[in-house]
Structure 1
Amino acid sequence: MTDTVSFEVASAGGPRTVTLACERRGAGEPLLLLHGIGHHLQAWEPVSRILAADREVIAVDLPGFGSSPALPEGLEYDLATVTAVLGGACEALGVGRPHVAGNSLGGLLALEMGRRGLARSVTALSPGGFWSPGEWRYAASVLRVMREGATRLPLPVVRQLARSAAGRAALTGTIYARPGRRAPEAVVAETLALKHAPGFGATLRAGAGLTFGDDLPGLPVTVAWGDRDRLLFPRQGVRAKRVIPGARLVRLRGCGHVPMNDDPALVARVVRDGSGGAARR
């Protein structure tokens, strides 16, 4: 069940109160799950149920996405600010320094949390920040087209499309390798989440020219990439490995940009191993 957490974040104009939507389940070491731009915490639903068997799983809606309201005036959607927001959320939730797994934008945020000492381990699934300038322009243009489509399509049309595998492919084929596996109601919900995300534009603008260029020595890092990712190409994983030489680089066979629905068991295994499951076993 979705809940909320509120806390204060420093700004140039004084403290601002931020509220995030979140879901908690399971027991064990805390594991924070972060979704990508335009998505919502339900993107992790196929995987979070598996991970909750031996983790305290905390999935959040990023600021201005899903059920989380936009950031208050005085706070920007840049990487530093949103990372500070997530650190504040972890403190307010009483989980301290959790394991963090993120997809796309969430993967970049997970890496930045690791860089700032806010994560015990990081698992990044097709993270942003390892693109060339041309690849960034391509990804940004695709995301804008997806947003425009979600905004213009009437809800009855979205619902009609979601009833068939072909329609679900038309709506979500850019991010899923196997869109037909996504439940119709989930496709409708994530299309509406993309349509109504007040943080979308500012977040996309903040990503222009942004790259992740720091090693994370001493921190367990896994970078995993779907070999059918059509948004951020798999070759970007090789660049990530060059930037973070100690990272474990994993290919997610048969998976697209948002792999949690394409192969939940595989993604759960990668996240569990990345957050210490392999060592404990």
Structure 2
Amino acid sequence: MTATVSFTIDSPLGPRPTTVAYERKGAGEPLLLLHGIGHHLQAWHPVIDILAAEHDVIAVDLPGFGASEPLPKGVPYSLGTVAPALGALCAALGVERPHVAGNSLGGLLALEMGRSDLVRSVTALSPAGFWTEAERRYAFATLLAMRAGAKALPLPAVRRLSRTAAGRAALTGTIYARPSRRPAEAVVAETLALRDATGFEDTLAAGGSVRFTDDVPGLPVTIAWGTRDRLLLRRQGIRAKHTVPGARLVRLPGCGHVPMNDDPALVSRVVLDTARSVRPVAA
């Protein structure tokens, strides 16, 4: 069941209240899950049960996406605002330095949380921020086209398309290598999430100048890339490895940009292996 939590974030405008939606399941060390731009926490549903067997899993709708409220008016959707806000969210939920796994935008935020020492391990799946300018323009143009398509299609058409493998490929083939595996109701929900995301444009605008150029020392980091990622091409993983030389770079065979649906077992294993590699604190 989705719940909400309200808390105060620091911003260039001073402290501001915000409310975020989340799902929580399992027990053990906390594990925070962050989705990509235009998506919602349900992107993690294919792997949540596996991860919850070992962890207290908290999947969140980022501010301005899914069921979460947008950031307060005038507050930028920047790394310097959103990553600390996620730290404040963890504090509001009684969680200290969770493991974090993120996809795309969520992967970039996960790395920023790691750089800021807010988490104990990082798994970044096709993280944003390691692109050339041409690759960034391509990705942003693709995202804008997907958003325009989601807005243009009436709900009955979305539902009709979701019932066939070809229709699911048309709606979600850009982000999934195996869109036919996605349940029809999930395809409808994520198309509506993309259409209705209040933070989409502001997040995209803030991302225009983003490059992740800092190391993330002192904690386990895994960067994983799908071999069939059509949005952020897998060569960006090599740049990510050069930027974070201590990271483990993992290939996800047959997976697209959002790999949790394409190979839940493999993605779960990558996340769990990263979390297990944290050295226990000495008594």
For normalisation by structure 2, the TM-score amounts to 0.97
Which residue identity does 1:149 align to in structure 2? G
Report which stretch shifted further, 12-21 or 176-185. Answer: 12-21
Q: Please, which moves more after superposition, 271-280 or 97-106? A: 271-280
8 Å Cα contact 2:22-2:41 kept in structure 1: yes
Residue in structure 1 matched with residue 239 of structure 2 by the alignment: 239
- Looking at structure 2, the residues matched to 163 and 213 of structure 1 have their Cα atoms a distance apart, in angstroms, of 43
Secondary structure at the aligned position of 2:71 is classed as coil
1:216 corresponds in structure 2 to 216
Structure 2 gap ranges (5+): none
Q: Which residue of 1 aligns with 2:61?
A: 61
The match for 1:172 is 172
Q: d(CA) in 2 for partners of 1:279 and 1:264?
A: 26
CA contact (8 A) 1:24 1:57 kept: yes
Structure 1 position 102, deviation (Å): 0.1
Please, what is the CA RMSD of the aligned residues? 1.1
- Judge conservation of contact 1:11–1:74 (CA < 8 Å) in 2: no
Q: How many residues align?
A: 280
Distance 1:16 1:240 in 2: 33
Match of 2:106 in 1: 106
**Cα distance change of structure 1 residues 178 and 279 upon mapping to structure 2, 3 Å threshold:** farther
Distance in 2, Cα, partners of 1:9 & 1:149: 33
* Cα deviation 1:90-112 (Å, max 9, x = unaligned): 11011111000000000000000
Q: Distance in 1 between matches of 2:31 and 2:11?
A: 27
Unaligned runs of 5+ in 1: none
Amino acid at match of 1:57: V
Residue 246 of structure 2 aligns to a residue in which SS?
coil
How many percent identity over aligned positions?
Answer: 70
Provide the secondary structure at the position in 1 that maps to 2:100: strand
SS at match of 1:14: coil
Q: TM-score, normalised by structure 1?
A: 0.98
Q: 1:14 maps to what in 2?
A: 14
Offset of residue 74 of structure 1: 3.4
Amino acid at match of 1:62: L
Which residue of structure 2 aligns with residue 90 of structure 1?
90
Measured in 2, the distance between the counterparts of 1:219 and 1:234 equals: 23
Following superposition, the deviation at residue 73 of structure 1 comes to 1.8
- Relative to structure 1, the CA distance from residue 223 to residue 161 in structure 2 (aligned partners, 3 Å threshold; closer, same or farther) is same
1:143-186 Cα distance to aligned partner (Å, 9 max, x none): 00000000010000000000000000000000000000000000
